Amino acid sequence: MSRDDLPLVLGIETSCDETGVGLVRGCTLLGEDVASSVEQHVRFGGVVPEVASRAHLEAMVPTVRRALDKAGAAPSDVDAVAVTAGPGLAGALLVGVSAAKAYAMALDVPLYGVNHLVGHVAVDQLEHGPLPKPAVALLVSGGHTSLLLVEDLATRVRSLGDTVDDAAGEAYDKVARLIGLPYPGGPPIDRAAREGDPGAIRFPRGKWGDGTYDFSFSGLKTAVARWVEDAGRTGEDLPVPDIAAGFQESVVDVLTRKAVDACVDNGVEHLVISGGVAANSRLRALAEERCAKAGVELRVPRPKLCTDNGAMIGALGAEVVAAGLPPSRLDLATDTSLPVTMPLAP
Ligand code: KG4
Ligand code: ZN
Helix (H) or strand (E) holding 29: strand 28-36
Give the Cα separation of 182 and 280 in Å (integer). Answer: 16
Count of helix runs (H) and strand runs (E) in the chain: 12, 10
Say how many Å lie between the CA of residue 122 and the centre of ligand 1: 17
Say whether 142 counts as a known binding-site residue.
yes
Asked if 152 and 118 count as a contact pair (C-beta separation under 8 A), the reply is no
Percentage of residues of the chain with pLDDT beyond 90: 90
Residue 185 has pLDDT above 50, yes or no: yes
Separation between Cα atoms, residue 55 and residue 49, nearest integer Å? 10
Binning pLDDT at 50, 70 and 90, where does residue 130 land?
Answer: very high
- pLDDT at res. 4: 63
Ligand 2 centre distance from Cα of residue 16 (Å): 8
Q: What is the Cα 149 distance to its own chain's centre? A: 16
277 lines ligand 1 (CB under 6 A): yes
This prediction has a pTM of: 0.94
Instruction: Name the residue with the closest Cα to ligand 1, atom 8.
Output: 276
Q: Which atom of ligand 1 is nearest to the CA of 169?
A: 12
* Of the candidate ranges 48-52, 96-100, 150-154, 293-297, the one whose mean pLDDT is the lowest: 48-52
CA distance 68 to 305: 18
Residue (of 87, 109, 63) closest to 275 by Cα position: 87
Q: Is the per-residue pLDDT at 1 higher than 60?
A: no
Q: Is the pLDDT of residue 217 over 60?
A: yes
Distance CA 223, CA 226 (A): 5
Half-sphere exposure of 304 (CA within 13 A, CB side): 11
What's the sign of the alpha-carbon dihedral 38, 242, 273, 169?
A: negative
Residue nearest to atom 19 of ligand 1 (CA): 186
Q: For residue 3, what pLDDT is reported?
A: 52
Is the predicted pLDDT of residue 336 greater than 60, yes or no? Answer: yes
Per-residue pLDDT band for 237 (boundaries 50, 70, 90) equals confident
Instruction: Find the angle CA(108)-CA(110)-CA(112) to the nearest 5 degrees.
Output: 145
pLDDT in tens, 73-114: 999 999 999 999 999 999 999 999 999 999 999 999 999 999
Alpha helices in the chain (DSSP H): 38-41, 49-71, 90-107, 116-122, 124-128, 168-178, 186-194, 218-234, 240-265, 281-294, 303-306, 311-322
pLDDT at 70 over 70: yes
Domains in the chain, CATH or no CATH each? 3-123+309-322 (3.30.420.40), 133-302 (3.30.420.40)
- What rounded mean pLDDT belongs to the chain? 95
Question: Would you say residue 151 has pLDDT above 60?
Answer: yes
Tens digit of each residue's pLDDT (9 = 90 or more) over 269-296: 999 999 999 999 999 999 999 999 999 9
Q: Which residue has the higher pLDDT, 232 or 192?
A: 192
pLDDT of residue 2 exceeding 60: no
How far is Cα 311 from Cα 40, in angstroms, rounded to an integer?
23
- Across residues 232-250, what is the average pLDDT? 93
Mutational test site, ligand 1, from 124, 277, 284, max ligand atoms within 8 Å of CB: 277
Q: Which ligand is nearest to the CA of 47?
A: 1
* For range 13-31, the mean pLDDT: 97
- How many beta carbons lie within 10 A of that of residue 204, not counting itself? 13
User: In degrees rounded to 5, what are phi and psi of residue 268?
Assistant: -105, 135
Cβ of 86 closer than 6 Å to ligand 1, yes or no, is no
